[in-house]
Structure 1
Amino acid sequence: MEYYMQKTYYKTASLISNSCKAIALLARQTAEVAMLANEYGKNLGLAYQLIDDVLNFTGTSASFGKGALSNIRHGIVTAPLLCAMEEFPQLRAVIDQGLDNPANVDLHHNLLVISLLSADVKAICSKR
């Protein structure tokens, strides 16, 4: 997961974090404010990408402009799949067979939905 978060920072969050920092610097804010703006942008960018990855499994093609399950179909392993592999170790063997097999895509989707739902339930329970 650490590698995924680092990749996500370089892919998405760095643009947002550096943009936030640049705005603070252009507004002649202190170095501390610029650093805080940079950290805010980093967290915003990571959160954006994580939500985008979840929507790839739970959303519809019409709702976010790309095909549902497009990441799996293109062989891209994202945070929901990494989390599901922790919960369902048998996914690793399926992934090793290849994500381009339609039967594997369906299995991934079903296990990911179960994993996401159980994560939601765990989050709800922990708030009580």
Structure 2
Amino acid sequence: MEYYMQKTYYKTASLIANSCKAISLLADQTAEAANLAHAYGSNLGLAFQLIDDVLDFTGTSASLGKDSLSDIHHEIVTAPSLFAMEEFPELPPVVDCGFEDPKNVDLALQYLWKSHGIQRAKELARAC
């Protein structure tokens, strides 16, 4: 999970964090205010990505504006899946086999729905 959060920071949260900091600096705020803005943006970006990962499993293609389950079909392991893998040791070998076989997708989703992965990802987003 630590690697996932670090990757998420660099992929999503760093852009938002640095944008918030830049706005603060452009508004002639103090260095302390700029650092607080950066921290706020970092937390916002992490929470945003976590909820985006949840919505990939729970949203519809129409509501998302993109295909649902796109992460799993692109073999991207996100927070809900990582939490599910912690609960079910049978899941990592399925993930390691990849998702070209639809049976693996179905099996992985069965484990995900039985797990607390989505709930835990939402809780982590709230904690950001």
What are the superposed Cα offsets for residues 84-127 of structure 1, whole Å, 9 maximum, x if unpaired? Answer: 0001110011112112211111121222122247847xx7xxxx
CA distance in 2, matches of 1:61, 1:110: 20
Q: Distance in 2 between matches of 1:118 and 1:21?
A: 31
Higher relative contact order (Cα pairs below 8 Å, separated by 6+ residues): 2
Q: Which moved more, 1:81-90 or 1:107-116?
A: 107-116
Q: Normalising by structure 2, report the TM-score.
A: 0.88
Structure 1 CA distance for aligned equivalents of residues 99 and 56 of structure 2: 15
Contact 1:74/1:100 (CA < 8 Å) preserved in 2?
no
Instruction: State the Cα RMSD in Å.
Output: 1.6
Q: Which residue of 1 aligns with 2:38?
A: 38
Percentage identity across paired residues of the two chains: 68
Q: Which runs of 4+ in 1 moved over 4 A?
A: none
Question: Which position in structure 1 is the counterpart of 2:126?
Answer: none
CA distance in 1, matches of 2:100, 2:56: 16
- Segments of 5+ residues of structure 2 without an aligned counterpart are 124-128
- Distance in 2 (alpha carbons) for counterparts of 1:68 and 1:106: 14
| TM-score, normalised via structure 1 length | 0.88
In structure 2, distance between residues paired with 1:13 and 1:97: 30
CA contact under 8 A between 1:58 and 1:113: conserved in structure 2?
no
What's the counterpart of residue 6 of structure 1?
A: 6
Contact kept, 8 Å, 2:82 with 2:117, in 1: the verdict is no
Equivalenced residue count is 121
